Structure 1
Amino acid sequence: MAVPGVRLSIMGTSARGQLKSFMNLYRAIPLVLLSSLVLFAAGCRAPGSPSRSFHFDYIARIVGIAAGAQKVDIWIPVPQNDETQKITNLEIKAPGEHRLTTEKVYGNRMVYASLGAPFPEEAEVRVSFDVERREVSGVSSLRAAAAGERLLAGDRMAPISDEVRKRAREASARGGGAVEVARGLYDRVLEDMTYDKSGKGWGRGDVGHACAIGQGNCSDFHTLFIAMARSRKVPAVFEIGFPIPTGKTEGRIGGYHCWAWYADGESWKPVDISEADKAPGKTEYFFGTICRNRFSMSAGRDLVLEPEQQGDPVNFFIYPYAEVDGKPGGAKVERSFTFRDLN
Protein backbone atom coordinates (compact mmCIF):
# COMPACT_ATOMS: atom_id res chain seq x y z
CA MET A 1 0.00 0.00 0.00
CA ALA A 2 1.39 3.42 -0.95
CA VAL A 3 2.31 5.66 1.95
CA PRO A 4 2.82 9.17 0.56
CA GLY A 5 5.07 11.19 2.90
CA VAL A 6 4.28 9.23 6.06
CA ARG A 7 5.35 10.67 9.41
CA LEU A 8 5.83 8.04 12.10
CA SER A 9 7.14 7.48 15.60
CA ILE A 10 9.15 4.31 16.20
CA MET A 11 7.87 1.88 18.82
CA GLY A 12 10.23 -0.08 21.05
CA THR A 13 10.50 -3.85 21.12
CA SER A 14 7.80 -5.38 23.33
CA ALA A 15 8.67 -7.45 26.37
CA ARG A 16 7.12 -10.46 24.66
CA GLY A 17 9.28 -9.87 21.59
CA GLN A 18 12.38 -9.59 23.77
CA LEU A 19 11.54 -12.85 25.48
CA LYS A 20 11.10 -14.59 22.12
CA SER A 21 14.45 -13.20 20.96
CA PHE A 22 16.20 -14.45 24.06
CA MET A 23 14.57 -17.85 23.88
CA ASN A 24 15.86 -18.20 20.33
CA LEU A 25 19.35 -17.35 21.50
CA TYR A 26 18.90 -19.51 24.59
CA ARG A 27 18.87 -22.62 22.41
CA ALA A 28 22.16 -21.57 20.84
CA ILE A 29 24.19 -20.57 23.91
CA PRO A 30 26.41 -23.29 25.38
CA LEU A 31 25.68 -24.67 28.84
CA VAL A 32 28.47 -22.68 30.50
CA LEU A 33 26.62 -19.48 29.58
CA LEU A 34 23.11 -20.77 30.03
CA SER A 35 23.70 -21.57 33.66
CA SER A 36 23.95 -17.89 34.55
CA LEU A 37 21.93 -16.10 31.86
CA VAL A 38 19.45 -13.63 33.33
CA LEU A 39 16.79 -12.83 30.76
CA PHE A 40 15.61 -9.51 32.07
CA ALA A 41 18.41 -8.15 34.17
CA ALA A 42 18.36 -4.40 34.49
CA GLY A 43 20.24 -2.68 31.68
CA CYS A 44 23.79 -1.70 32.53
CA ARG A 45 23.15 1.92 31.66
CA ALA A 46 23.64 3.83 34.88
CA PRO A 47 20.96 6.36 35.88
CA GLY A 48 22.07 9.76 34.70
CA SER A 49 24.62 8.33 32.27
CA PRO A 50 25.73 10.86 29.65
CA SER A 51 23.31 11.32 26.76
CA ARG A 52 23.23 13.28 23.53
CA SER A 53 20.20 14.36 21.51
CA PHE A 54 20.38 15.31 17.86
CA HIS A 55 18.42 15.47 14.63
CA PHE A 56 19.62 13.36 11.70
CA ASP A 57 18.89 13.55 7.97
CA TYR A 58 19.65 10.58 5.71
CA ILE A 59 19.27 11.48 2.03
CA ALA A 60 19.59 9.17 -0.97
CA ARG A 61 19.41 10.59 -4.50
CA ILE A 62 18.88 8.19 -7.39
CA VAL A 63 20.44 9.54 -10.60
CA GLY A 64 21.72 8.19 -13.90
CA ILE A 65 19.12 5.45 -14.28
CA ALA A 66 20.00 3.24 -17.25
CA ALA A 67 18.18 4.00 -20.50
CA GLY A 68 15.25 1.67 -21.08
CA ALA A 69 14.88 0.74 -17.41
CA GLN A 70 11.34 0.09 -16.22
CA LYS A 71 11.63 -0.20 -12.44
CA VAL A 72 13.90 0.95 -9.63
CA ASP A 73 13.72 -0.53 -6.12
CA ILE A 74 15.59 0.99 -3.20
CA TRP A 75 15.98 -0.05 0.45
CA ILE A 76 17.26 2.31 3.17
CA PRO A 77 17.87 1.35 6.84
CA VAL A 78 15.72 2.99 9.51
CA PRO A 79 16.86 3.06 13.17
CA GLN A 80 14.77 1.72 16.04
CA ASN A 81 14.32 2.14 19.77
CA ASP A 82 16.33 -0.07 22.09
CA GLU A 83 18.13 0.20 25.43
CA THR A 84 20.85 2.38 23.89
CA GLN A 85 18.78 4.90 21.97
CA LYS A 86 15.37 6.51 21.58
CA ILE A 87 14.16 7.44 18.08
CA THR A 88 11.36 9.98 17.66
CA ASN A 89 9.84 12.20 14.98
CA LEU A 90 10.57 9.78 12.16
CA GLU A 91 9.64 11.28 8.81
CA ILE A 92 9.98 9.61 5.41
CA LYS A 93 9.67 11.42 2.11
CA ALA A 94 9.94 9.39 -1.08
CA PRO A 95 8.50 9.33 -4.59
CA GLY A 96 6.39 6.44 -5.84
CA GLU A 97 5.19 3.65 -3.58
CA HIS A 98 7.05 3.28 -0.30
CA ARG A 99 6.54 1.58 3.04
CA LEU A 100 8.32 0.54 6.23
CA THR A 101 9.35 -3.11 6.35
CA THR A 102 11.31 -5.39 8.70
CA GLU A 103 13.70 -8.17 7.69
CA LYS A 104 13.01 -11.52 9.28
CA VAL A 105 16.31 -12.64 10.83
CA TYR A 106 17.79 -9.73 12.80
CA GLY A 107 14.71 -7.53 12.96
CA ASN A 108 16.23 -4.60 11.07
CA ARG A 109 13.78 -1.97 9.90
CA MET A 110 13.96 -0.21 6.54
CA VAL A 111 12.02 1.90 4.09
CA TYR A 112 11.37 0.25 0.74
CA ALA A 113 10.50 2.43 -2.26
CA SER A 114 9.63 1.36 -5.80
CA LEU A 115 9.66 3.71 -8.80
CA GLY A 116 8.37 3.02 -12.30
CA ALA A 117 9.23 4.59 -15.64
CA PRO A 118 9.25 7.34 -16.75
CA PHE A 119 11.80 8.47 -14.17
CA PRO A 120 12.70 12.00 -13.10
CA GLU A 121 16.28 13.16 -13.58
CA GLU A 122 16.72 12.80 -9.83
CA ALA A 123 14.60 10.91 -7.31
CA GLU A 124 15.21 11.69 -3.64
CA VAL A 125 14.42 9.59 -0.60
CA ARG A 126 14.80 11.43 2.71
CA VAL A 127 14.62 9.79 6.13
CA SER A 128 14.70 12.23 9.06
CA PHE A 129 14.47 11.58 12.79
CA ASP A 130 15.58 12.66 16.26
CA VAL A 131 17.90 10.53 18.38
CA GLU A 132 18.56 10.43 22.10
CA ARG A 133 21.63 8.28 22.61
CA ARG A 134 23.20 7.27 25.94
CA GLU A 135 26.53 5.94 27.02
CA VAL A 136 26.02 2.25 27.84
CA SER A 137 28.06 -0.53 29.39
CA GLY A 138 25.67 -3.33 28.51
CA VAL A 139 22.06 -4.18 27.76
CA SER A 140 19.73 -6.92 28.95
CA SER A 141 18.44 -7.72 25.47
CA LEU A 142 19.26 -7.19 21.82
CA ARG A 143 16.78 -7.27 18.96
CA ALA A 144 19.40 -9.14 16.94
CA ALA A 145 19.28 -12.03 19.44
CA ALA A 146 16.34 -13.26 17.37
CA ALA A 147 18.97 -14.52 14.89
CA GLY A 148 19.58 -17.43 17.30
CA GLU A 149 22.18 -19.89 16.01
CA ARG A 150 23.39 -17.39 13.41
CA LEU A 151 25.18 -15.69 16.31
CA LEU A 152 27.46 -18.71 16.65
CA ALA A 153 28.07 -19.34 12.94
CA GLY A 154 30.32 -17.80 10.32
CA ASP A 155 29.24 -15.23 7.74
CA ARG A 156 30.10 -15.21 4.04
CA MET A 157 33.02 -12.84 4.50
CA ALA A 158 33.71 -14.00 8.03
CA PRO A 159 33.99 -17.79 7.99
CA ILE A 160 35.26 -19.47 11.13
CA SER A 161 38.48 -20.61 9.49
CA ASP A 162 41.35 -22.63 10.91
CA GLU A 163 43.33 -19.40 11.30
CA VAL A 164 40.48 -17.79 13.22
CA ARG A 165 40.21 -20.82 15.51
CA LYS A 166 43.97 -20.84 16.09
CA ARG A 167 44.09 -17.19 17.09
CA ALA A 168 41.05 -17.56 19.31
CA ARG A 169 42.52 -20.59 21.10
CA GLU A 170 45.76 -18.75 21.74
CA ALA A 171 43.97 -15.61 22.92
CA SER A 172 41.75 -17.51 25.35
CA ALA A 173 44.34 -19.99 26.61
CA ARG A 174 43.97 -18.76 30.19
CA GLY A 175 40.35 -19.90 30.19
CA GLY A 176 37.68 -18.35 32.37
CA GLY A 177 34.14 -17.31 31.56
CA ALA A 178 32.78 -15.39 28.62
CA VAL A 179 34.13 -12.04 29.84
CA GLU A 180 37.66 -13.39 30.27
CA VAL A 181 37.52 -15.07 26.87
CA ALA A 182 36.19 -11.91 25.23
CA ARG A 183 38.93 -9.82 26.85
CA GLY A 184 41.58 -12.16 25.51
CA LEU A 185 40.10 -11.87 22.01
CA TYR A 186 39.81 -8.08 22.32
CA ASP A 187 43.47 -7.78 23.28
CA ARG A 188 44.52 -10.13 20.47
CA VAL A 189 42.65 -8.11 17.84
CA LEU A 190 44.28 -4.94 19.20
CA GLU A 191 47.66 -6.65 18.93
CA ASP A 192 47.10 -8.03 15.43
CA MET A 193 45.26 -5.11 13.78
CA THR A 194 46.07 -1.48 12.95
CA TYR A 195 43.50 1.13 11.99
CA ASP A 196 44.69 1.96 8.47
CA LYS A 197 42.51 2.65 5.44
CA SER A 198 45.31 2.68 2.89
CA GLY A 199 45.51 0.13 0.12
CA LYS A 200 42.69 -2.11 -1.07
CA GLY A 201 40.42 -4.70 0.50
CA TRP A 202 39.61 -2.94 3.75
CA GLY A 203 36.10 -1.89 4.82
CA ARG A 204 34.25 -5.05 3.80
CA GLY A 205 34.51 -6.93 7.05
CA ASP A 206 36.62 -9.60 5.35
CA VAL A 207 38.17 -11.83 7.99
CA GLY A 208 40.64 -13.35 5.53
CA HIS A 209 41.94 -9.91 4.59
CA ALA A 210 42.11 -8.89 8.26
CA CYS A 211 44.17 -11.96 9.13
CA ALA A 212 46.46 -11.61 6.11
CA ILE A 213 47.04 -7.84 6.13
CA GLY A 214 46.42 -6.88 9.74
CA GLN A 215 44.91 -3.51 8.97
CA GLY A 216 41.58 -1.97 8.05
CA ASN A 217 38.67 -0.03 9.49
CA CYS A 218 36.07 -0.77 12.16
CA SER A 219 34.36 -3.46 10.07
CA ASP A 220 37.59 -5.42 9.75
CA PHE A 221 38.45 -5.17 13.46
CA HIS A 222 35.02 -6.30 14.62
CA THR A 223 34.58 -8.99 12.00
CA LEU A 224 37.73 -10.64 13.30
CA PHE A 225 36.59 -10.31 16.92
CA ILE A 226 33.13 -11.74 16.15
CA ALA A 227 34.50 -14.71 14.21
CA MET A 228 36.95 -15.49 17.02
CA ALA A 229 34.23 -15.17 19.68
CA ARG A 230 31.90 -17.48 17.80
CA SER A 231 34.68 -20.02 17.38
CA ARG A 232 34.86 -20.12 21.20
CA LYS A 233 31.06 -20.51 21.47
CA VAL A 234 30.51 -16.95 22.68
CA PRO A 235 27.53 -15.42 20.82
CA ALA A 236 28.50 -12.16 19.12
CA VAL A 237 26.72 -9.59 16.93
CA PHE A 238 27.89 -6.98 14.41
CA GLU A 239 26.21 -3.56 14.72
CA ILE A 240 26.59 -0.56 12.43
CA GLY A 241 25.50 3.06 12.52
CA PHE A 242 26.94 6.56 12.30
CA PRO A 243 29.46 8.42 14.46
CA ILE A 244 28.48 11.88 15.70
CA PRO A 245 31.51 14.20 15.99
CA THR A 246 32.53 15.69 19.30
CA GLY A 247 33.33 19.39 19.38
CA LYS A 248 30.70 20.13 16.72
CA THR A 249 26.99 20.83 17.06
CA GLU A 250 26.04 20.25 13.42
CA GLY A 251 27.52 19.17 10.12
CA ARG A 252 27.99 16.39 7.63
CA ILE A 253 28.85 12.80 8.49
CA GLY A 254 31.40 11.22 6.16
CA GLY A 255 30.59 7.56 6.68
CA TYR A 256 29.63 4.74 9.01
CA HIS A 257 31.01 3.37 12.25
CA CYS A 258 30.53 -0.15 13.62
CA TRP A 259 31.15 -2.14 16.78
CA ALA A 260 30.30 -5.54 18.28
CA TRP A 261 28.32 -7.09 21.12
CA TYR A 262 28.98 -10.36 22.92
CA ALA A 263 26.91 -12.32 25.45
CA ASP A 264 28.59 -12.56 28.85
CA GLY A 265 26.04 -14.89 30.42
CA GLU A 266 24.01 -12.15 32.12
CA SER A 267 23.76 -9.41 29.51
CA TRP A 268 25.15 -8.19 26.21
CA LYS A 269 28.40 -6.24 26.40
CA PRO A 270 29.76 -3.89 23.71
CA VAL A 271 33.30 -3.63 22.40
CA ASP A 272 34.75 -0.98 20.11
CA ILE A 273 38.22 -2.21 19.25
CA SER A 274 38.98 0.14 16.37
CA GLU A 275 38.33 3.16 18.61
CA ALA A 276 40.58 1.62 21.25
CA ASP A 277 43.29 1.26 18.61
CA LYS A 278 42.96 4.93 17.68
CA ALA A 279 42.86 6.04 21.34
CA PRO A 280 45.08 3.67 23.39
CA GLY A 281 44.27 5.57 26.56
CA LYS A 282 40.70 4.31 26.27
CA THR A 283 41.49 0.61 25.85
CA GLU A 284 39.78 -0.27 29.13
CA TYR A 285 36.80 1.99 28.41
CA PHE A 286 35.98 0.49 25.02
CA PHE A 287 35.99 -3.04 26.42
CA GLY A 288 32.46 -3.00 27.75
CA THR A 289 31.38 0.61 27.15
CA ILE A 290 30.33 2.62 24.12
CA CYS A 291 29.91 6.36 24.17
CA ARG A 292 26.92 8.52 23.33
CA ASN A 293 28.53 9.94 20.17
CA ARG A 294 27.07 7.37 17.80
CA PHE A 295 23.82 5.61 17.03
CA SER A 296 22.79 2.30 15.51
CA MET A 297 21.08 1.78 12.15
CA SER A 298 21.16 -2.01 11.77
CA ALA A 299 22.74 -5.25 12.96
CA GLY A 300 23.97 -8.47 11.43
CA ARG A 301 25.58 -9.60 8.18
CA ASP A 302 24.38 -11.29 4.99
CA LEU A 303 20.98 -9.66 5.15
CA VAL A 304 17.95 -10.62 3.10
CA LEU A 305 15.95 -7.41 2.92
CA GLU A 306 12.17 -7.01 2.99
CA PRO A 307 10.80 -7.40 0.40
CA GLU A 308 13.58 -9.75 -0.66
CA GLN A 309 16.12 -8.33 -3.08
CA GLN A 310 17.06 -10.23 -6.24
CA GLY A 311 20.79 -9.79 -5.66
CA ASP A 312 23.04 -11.48 -3.12
CA PRO A 313 22.53 -11.01 0.62
CA VAL A 314 23.67 -7.56 1.74
CA ASN A 315 27.04 -7.72 3.48
CA PHE A 316 25.99 -5.11 6.05
CA PHE A 317 23.22 -2.54 5.83
CA ILE A 318 24.10 1.10 6.31
CA TYR A 319 23.99 2.67 2.85
CA PRO A 320 21.12 2.58 0.33
CA TYR A 321 20.76 -0.63 -1.66
CA ALA A 322 19.18 -0.32 -5.11
CA GLU A 323 18.19 -2.62 -7.96
CA VAL A 324 17.14 -1.69 -11.49
CA ASP A 325 14.78 -4.17 -13.15
CA GLY A 326 15.67 -6.73 -10.48
CA LYS A 327 19.45 -6.43 -10.79
CA PRO A 328 21.98 -4.61 -8.59
CA GLY A 329 23.42 -1.50 -10.23
CA GLY A 330 21.95 0.27 -13.24
CA ALA A 331 21.69 3.57 -11.37
CA LYS A 332 23.88 5.79 -9.24
CA VAL A 333 22.77 6.46 -5.68
CA GLU A 334 24.29 9.57 -4.15
CA ARG A 335 24.04 9.84 -0.39
CA SER A 336 24.46 12.49 2.27
CA PHE A 337 24.15 12.44 6.05
CA THR A 338 23.85 15.47 8.33
CA PHE A 339 23.21 16.01 12.03
CA ARG A 340 22.23 18.90 14.30
CA ASP A 341 22.44 18.81 18.09
CA LEU A 342 19.18 19.39 19.93
CA ASN A 343 20.68 20.23 23.34
Structure 2
Amino acid sequence: DPANLEFLKPTSHIPTDGVVRAKALEIIGNTKGDLERAKAIYTWVANTMQRDNSILGCGTGDVKAILESGKLVGKCTDINSVFVGLCRSVGIPAREIFGIRVGQSRFSDQMGSAKDGVAKISGGQHCRAESYLKGYGWIPVDPADVTKVRLGEKLTNDDAKIKAVRDYCFGNWEMCWIGFNYGRDFILKPTPEQTPLNNFGYPYAEVDGNTQNYYSPKEFSYDYVSTELK
Protein backbone atom coordinates (compact mmCIF):
# COMPACT_ATOMS: atom_id res chain seq x y z
CA ASP A 1 0.00 0.00 0.00
CA PRO A 2 1.70 3.26 -1.11
CA ALA A 3 0.09 5.13 1.79
CA ASN A 4 2.12 3.06 4.23
CA LEU A 5 5.53 3.44 2.59
CA GLU A 6 6.32 6.26 5.03
CA PHE A 7 6.25 3.71 7.82
CA LEU A 8 8.93 1.57 6.22
CA LYS A 9 11.43 4.42 5.97
CA PRO A 10 14.34 4.83 8.37
CA THR A 11 14.66 7.91 10.58
CA SER A 12 17.58 9.22 12.60
CA HIS A 13 16.33 7.28 15.64
CA ILE A 14 15.03 4.26 13.72
CA PRO A 15 17.52 2.96 11.16
CA THR A 16 16.48 -0.17 9.30
CA ASP A 17 19.85 -1.56 8.27
CA GLY A 18 22.95 -2.81 10.09
CA VAL A 19 22.39 -4.15 13.58
CA VAL A 20 18.64 -3.52 13.38
CA ARG A 21 18.05 -5.67 10.31
CA ALA A 22 20.52 -8.30 11.52
CA LYS A 23 18.64 -8.68 14.81
CA ALA A 24 15.26 -8.82 13.05
CA LEU A 25 16.46 -11.57 10.71
CA GLU A 26 17.81 -13.48 13.70
CA ILE A 27 14.44 -13.20 15.46
CA ILE A 28 12.20 -14.23 12.58
CA GLY A 29 14.44 -17.02 11.29
CA ASN A 30 12.45 -19.09 8.80
CA THR A 31 9.09 -17.66 9.92
CA LYS A 32 6.79 -16.98 6.96
CA GLY A 33 4.05 -14.36 6.73
CA ASP A 34 3.95 -10.82 8.10
CA LEU A 35 1.53 -11.68 10.92
CA GLU A 36 3.77 -14.45 12.18
CA ARG A 37 6.89 -12.31 11.79
CA ALA A 38 5.34 -9.35 13.62
CA LYS A 39 4.27 -11.70 16.42
CA ALA A 40 7.77 -13.18 16.67
CA ILE A 41 9.30 -9.70 16.89
CA TYR A 42 6.71 -8.60 19.45
CA THR A 43 7.29 -11.67 21.63
CA TRP A 44 11.06 -11.21 21.52
CA VAL A 45 10.79 -7.55 22.51
CA ALA A 46 8.27 -8.22 25.30
CA ASN A 47 10.25 -11.14 26.73
CA THR A 48 13.78 -9.83 26.27
CA MET A 49 13.73 -6.10 26.91
CA GLN A 50 13.56 -4.74 30.44
CA ARG A 51 11.99 -1.55 31.76
CA ASP A 52 14.38 0.91 33.40
CA ASN A 53 12.57 3.42 35.61
CA SER A 54 15.69 5.59 35.93
CA ILE A 55 15.37 6.79 32.32
CA LEU A 56 13.99 10.31 31.85
CA GLY A 57 10.47 10.68 30.48
CA CYS A 58 9.54 7.91 28.07
CA GLY A 59 13.07 7.48 26.71
CA THR A 60 14.54 8.60 23.39
CA GLY A 61 13.78 5.53 21.28
CA ASP A 62 17.26 5.31 19.76
CA VAL A 63 16.94 1.82 18.30
CA LYS A 64 20.48 1.41 16.96
CA ALA A 65 22.07 2.60 20.21
CA ILE A 66 19.96 0.20 22.26
CA LEU A 67 20.74 -2.84 20.12
CA GLU A 68 24.44 -2.01 19.75
CA SER A 69 24.85 -1.48 23.49
CA GLY A 70 23.61 -4.95 24.32
CA LYS A 71 21.72 -3.36 27.23
CA LEU A 72 18.16 -4.10 26.18
CA VAL A 73 16.55 -1.70 28.63
CA GLY A 74 14.43 1.41 28.40
CA LYS A 75 11.02 2.94 28.83
CA CYS A 76 8.02 2.83 26.53
CA THR A 77 9.42 4.87 23.63
CA ASP A 78 12.64 2.86 23.72
CA ILE A 79 10.96 -0.53 23.86
CA ASN A 80 8.20 0.14 21.34
CA SER A 81 10.64 1.87 18.98
CA VAL A 82 12.74 -1.29 18.94
CA PHE A 83 9.61 -3.18 17.86
CA VAL A 84 8.96 -0.59 15.15
CA GLY A 85 12.53 -0.62 13.85
CA LEU A 86 12.73 -4.40 13.74
CA CYS A 87 9.43 -4.61 11.84
CA ARG A 88 10.39 -1.93 9.32
CA SER A 89 13.72 -3.61 8.66
CA VAL A 90 11.97 -6.74 7.35
CA GLY A 91 9.34 -4.91 5.30
CA ILE A 92 6.49 -4.61 7.81
CA PRO A 93 5.16 -1.02 8.12
CA ALA A 94 5.14 0.06 11.76
CA ARG A 95 4.95 3.23 13.84
CA GLU A 96 4.85 4.49 17.40
CA ILE A 97 1.76 6.26 18.70
CA PHE A 98 2.36 8.89 21.38
CA GLY A 99 -0.37 9.56 23.90
CA ILE A 100 -1.34 9.60 27.56
CA ARG A 101 -2.96 7.28 30.08
CA VAL A 102 -6.35 8.57 31.20
CA GLY A 103 -7.83 6.08 33.65
CA GLN A 104 -7.85 2.79 35.49
CA SER A 105 -6.53 -0.34 33.80
CA ARG A 106 -8.39 -3.64 34.06
CA PHE A 107 -5.09 -5.50 34.25
CA SER A 108 -2.75 -3.56 36.50
CA ASP A 109 -2.18 -0.15 38.08
CA GLN A 110 1.08 -0.19 36.15
CA MET A 111 -0.97 0.30 32.98
CA GLY A 112 -3.15 3.11 34.34
CA SER A 113 -4.67 4.09 37.67
CA ALA A 114 -7.43 6.33 38.99
CA LYS A 115 -9.18 7.07 42.26
CA ASP A 116 -12.97 7.36 42.25
CA GLY A 117 -12.88 7.81 38.49
CA VAL A 118 -10.39 10.69 38.56
CA ALA A 119 -6.85 10.29 37.23
CA LYS A 120 -4.12 12.89 37.69
CA ILE A 121 -2.25 12.21 34.49
CA SER A 122 0.33 15.00 34.08
CA GLY A 123 3.08 12.36 34.17
CA GLY A 124 1.05 9.73 32.34
CA GLN A 125 2.55 10.08 28.86
CA HIS A 126 2.86 6.68 27.20
CA CYS A 127 4.05 5.49 23.80
CA ARG A 128 2.45 2.49 22.13
CA ALA A 129 2.98 0.98 18.67
CA GLU A 130 1.22 -0.64 15.75
CA SER A 131 2.16 -2.56 12.62
CA TYR A 132 0.34 -2.74 9.31
CA LEU A 133 -0.58 -6.23 8.13
CA LYS A 134 -2.15 -6.78 4.74
CA GLY A 135 -5.70 -8.02 5.09
CA TYR A 136 -5.92 -6.80 8.70
CA GLY A 137 -4.92 -3.13 8.67
CA TRP A 138 -3.13 -1.46 11.57
CA ILE A 139 -2.63 -3.89 14.45
CA PRO A 140 -2.06 -2.37 17.93
CA VAL A 141 0.74 -3.71 20.12
CA ASP A 142 2.39 -2.69 23.37
CA PRO A 143 5.36 -4.82 24.46
CA ALA A 144 6.47 -1.94 26.70
CA ASP A 145 3.49 -2.41 29.00
CA VAL A 146 4.36 -6.09 29.35
CA THR A 147 7.77 -5.07 30.67
CA LYS A 148 6.23 -2.43 32.95
CA VAL A 149 3.84 -4.87 34.60
CA ARG A 150 6.58 -7.48 34.92
CA LEU A 151 8.90 -5.04 36.71
CA GLY A 152 6.26 -3.23 38.76
CA GLU A 153 4.65 -6.40 40.07
CA LYS A 154 7.93 -8.35 40.32
CA LEU A 155 6.78 -11.11 37.98
CA THR A 156 8.52 -13.28 35.39
CA ASN A 157 7.72 -14.17 31.79
CA ASP A 158 6.32 -17.49 33.01
CA ASP A 159 3.77 -16.00 35.41
CA ALA A 160 0.15 -16.40 34.31
CA LYS A 161 -0.55 -12.67 34.60
CA ILE A 162 2.36 -11.75 32.34
CA LYS A 163 1.28 -14.36 29.82
CA ALA A 164 -2.22 -12.85 29.82
CA VAL A 165 -0.95 -9.27 29.41
CA ARG A 166 1.49 -10.34 26.70
CA ASP A 167 -1.22 -12.18 24.78
CA TYR A 168 -3.63 -9.25 25.08
CA CYS A 169 -1.13 -6.56 24.06
CA PHE A 170 -0.57 -8.10 20.63
CA GLY A 171 -3.64 -7.01 18.68
CA ASN A 172 -5.12 -4.82 21.43
CA TRP A 173 -4.60 -1.59 23.31
CA GLU A 174 -6.37 -1.28 26.63
CA MET A 175 -8.28 1.94 26.14
CA CYS A 176 -7.51 3.70 29.39
CA TRP A 177 -5.24 5.70 27.08
CA ILE A 178 -5.62 8.31 24.33
CA GLY A 179 -3.28 8.52 21.34
CA PHE A 180 -2.18 11.96 20.11
CA ASN A 181 0.08 11.43 17.10
CA TYR A 182 2.74 9.31 15.42
CA GLY A 183 5.24 12.11 14.71
CA ARG A 184 8.89 11.06 14.80
CA ASP A 185 12.02 13.03 13.89
CA PHE A 186 10.05 15.92 12.39
CA ILE A 187 10.11 19.73 12.25
CA LEU A 188 7.37 21.85 13.80
CA LYS A 189 6.15 25.00 12.07
CA PRO A 190 7.19 27.70 12.71
CA THR A 191 10.64 26.14 13.09
CA PRO A 192 11.59 25.92 16.79
CA GLU A 193 15.02 26.03 18.42
CA GLN A 194 14.92 22.27 18.99
CA THR A 195 14.81 20.62 15.59
CA PRO A 196 14.10 18.03 14.48
CA LEU A 197 11.80 17.08 17.35
CA ASN A 198 12.34 13.46 18.37
CA ASN A 199 8.64 12.92 19.10
CA PHE A 200 5.57 14.85 20.24
CA GLY A 201 4.51 12.98 23.35
CA TYR A 202 4.94 16.02 25.61
CA PRO A 203 3.93 19.69 25.25
CA TYR A 204 6.55 21.88 23.57
CA ALA A 205 7.15 25.58 24.22
CA GLU A 206 9.93 28.16 24.06
CA VAL A 207 10.48 31.37 26.00
CA ASP A 208 12.97 33.84 24.52
CA GLY A 209 14.40 31.07 22.36
CA ASN A 210 14.86 28.66 25.28
CA THR A 211 13.09 25.31 25.19
CA GLN A 212 11.01 24.70 28.32
CA ASN A 213 11.52 21.49 30.28
CA TYR A 214 8.53 19.51 29.04
CA TYR A 215 9.48 16.56 31.26
CA SER A 216 8.59 18.64 34.35
CA PRO A 217 4.89 19.64 34.53
CA LYS A 218 5.56 21.94 37.50
CA GLU A 219 8.49 23.72 35.87
CA PHE A 220 6.79 23.92 32.48
CA SER A 221 3.43 24.63 34.16
CA TYR A 222 0.93 22.24 32.68
CA ASP A 223 -1.57 19.90 34.31
CA TYR A 224 -3.64 17.03 32.91
CA VAL A 225 -6.62 15.55 34.75
CA SER A 226 -8.97 12.88 33.42
CA THR A 227 -12.44 12.24 34.86
CA GLU A 228 -14.48 9.16 34.02
CA LEU A 229 -18.02 9.84 32.78
CA LYS A 230 -20.68 7.50 34.13
TM-score of the superposition, structure 1-length normalised? 0.53
Shift of 1:154: 1.6
Shift of 1:221: 0.7
- Counterpart-to-counterpart distance in 2, 1:160 and 1:184: 17
8 Å contact 2:102–2:124 — kept in the other structure?
Answer: no
Structure scoring higher RCO (CA < 8 A, sep ≥ 6) equals: 1
Match of 1:216 in 2: 74
Shift of 1:288: 0.6
- Counterpart-to-counterpart distance in 1, 2:100 and 2:211: 24
Matched, 1:230 2:100: no
Match of 2:98 in 1: 240
- Counterpart-to-counterpart distance in 2, 1:201 and 1:193: 17
SS in structure 1 opposite 2:46?
helix
C-alpha change, 1:202 and 1:307, in structure 2 (3 Å) is closer
C-alpha change, 1:293 and 1:251, in structure 2 (3 Å) is closer
Matched, 1:329 2:187: no
Matched, 1:255 2:100: no
For the pair shown, the structure with the greater C-alpha radius of gyration is 1
- Counterpart-to-counterpart distance in 2, 1:296 and 1:201: 17
Q: Which has the higher helix share?
A: 2
Match of 2:5 in 1: 149
Match of 1:4 in 2: none
SS in structure 1 opposite 2:197?
coil
Supply the AA of the counterpart residue of 1:188. W
Instruction: Decide which of 120, 126, 142 is 1:272's aligned counterpart.
Output: 142
Q: Which has the higher strand share?
A: 1
Match of 1:290 in 2: 173
SS in structure 2 opposite 1:242?
strand
Unaligned runs of 5+ in 2: 105-113, 151-161, 214-218
Shift of 1:295: 0.6
Shift of 1:163: 1.4
Choose 291-300 or 315-324, whichever is displaced more.
315-324
State how many pairs are aligned. Answer: 198
- Counterpart-to-counterpart distance in 1, 2:206 and 2:45: 36
SS in structure 1 opposite 2:23?
helix
Supply the AA of the counterpart residue of 1:268. W
Match of 2:154 in 1: none
Shift of 1:203: 0.9
C-alpha change, 1:201 and 1:173, in structure 2 (3 Å) is farther
Match of 1:107 in 2: none
After superposition, the CA RMSD in angstroms is 2.2
Match of 1:76 in 2: none
Shift of 1:157: 1.7
Matched, 1:339 2:195: no
SS in structure 1 opposite 2:92?
coil
Supply the AA of the counterpart residue of 1:189. V
Supply the AA of the counterpart residue of 1:228. L
Match of 2:22 in 1: 166
SS in structure 1 opposite 2:45?
helix
Match of 1:312 in 2: 195
- Counterpart-to-counterpart distance in 2, 1:236 and 1:330: 30
Match of 1:189 in 2: 45
C-alpha change, 1:200 and 1:250, in structure 2 (3 Å) is closer
SS in structure 2 opposite 1:261?
strand
SS in structure 2 opposite 1:224?
helix
8 Å contact 1:158–1:223 — kept in the other structure?
Answer: yes
- Counterpart-to-counterpart distance in 2, 1:200 and 1:258: 14
Unaligned runs of 5+ in 1: 1-25, 28-144
- Aligned-pair identity (%): 30
8 Å contact 1:210–1:221 — kept in the other structure?
Answer: no
- Counterpart-to-counterpart distance in 2, 1:318 and 1:273: 18
- Counterpart-to-counterpart distance in 2, 1:314 and 1:203: 13
- Counterpart-to-counterpart distance in 1, 2:125 and 2:56: 18
- Counterpart-to-counterpart distance in 1, 2:50 and 2:25: 21
